[in-house]
Structure 1
Amino acid sequence: MDLITPPHQSSKQHWPKALRRWLAHLRQIIETVNDKLLNTFRLARERPHDLTGFQACLAAKVALHNFCIWFNLQRDEAPLAFAELLAW
């Protein structure tokens, strides 16, 4: 796996602004997904005994998440309006 980082802006070989903006957009998506997995799905609190247990737990949580999105769309609600779905 390769890690690509932009050079410092003070460097003579800086990247064009459009490329830096595009990479910042991708980074925001990646960080949002990581936050969703760790906090919303509480993966940091999971303590499975082996990898298959973790995979099963993750698959169940992602399936429930996708079902809730689909269900909200069927009801003409906002896709991520889970609090209203659970009546909290």
Structure 2
Amino acid sequence: MLTNPRQNQKVEQPAERAKLINHFRQIIETVNGQLAQQFKLEINRAHSFWGLCSRLYSKLAGHTLSIYLNRLLGKPDCLKIKALAFPI
């Protein structure tokens, strides 16, 4: 760097760390998207707190089971859970 950094300038992450963070961020965003779109996590129609908890737990368990089944079947990308219901 030829000049001093500005006072409000952010320090850049090393390339390896940025790549690792982006990898995990992509996985997290994929899981969040699947829970929102395929499992309709926002729509719960629960009448009580315990009903809400049980519906959320069942949706999370279904998502976890889908990933586990993909791993058992030897799929290279275990996050493609839609292929379990709609095989190509």
* Alignment partners' CA distance in 2, 1:55 and 1:38: 16
Cα deviation for residue 51 of structure 1 reads 2.7
Cα deviation for residue 69 of structure 1 reads 5.6
Structure 1, unaligned stretches of length 5 or more? 1-10
Match of 1:39 in 2: 37
The structure carrying a bigger helix percent of its residues is 1
What TM-score, normalized to structure 2?
0.58
Cα deviation digits, residues 12-41 of structure 1 (max 9, x gap) = 621101111111111111111111111111
Structure 2, unaligned stretches of length 5 or more? 1-8
Q: Percent identity?
A: 31
RMSD, aligned CA: 3.0
- Residues matched between the structures, number: 72
Letter in structure 2 aligned against 1:82: A
Match of 2:5 in 1: none
**Residue 25 (structure 2) aligned to one of 21, 24, 27:** 27
Letter in structure 1 aligned against 2:37: N
Mark the CA change 1:77 to 1:23 in structure 2 (over 3 Å): closer, same or farther.
closer
What TM-score, normalized to structure 1?
0.58
Letter in structure 2 aligned against 1:83: F
Identify the structure with bigger relative contact order (alpha carbons < 8 Å, sequence gap 6+). 2
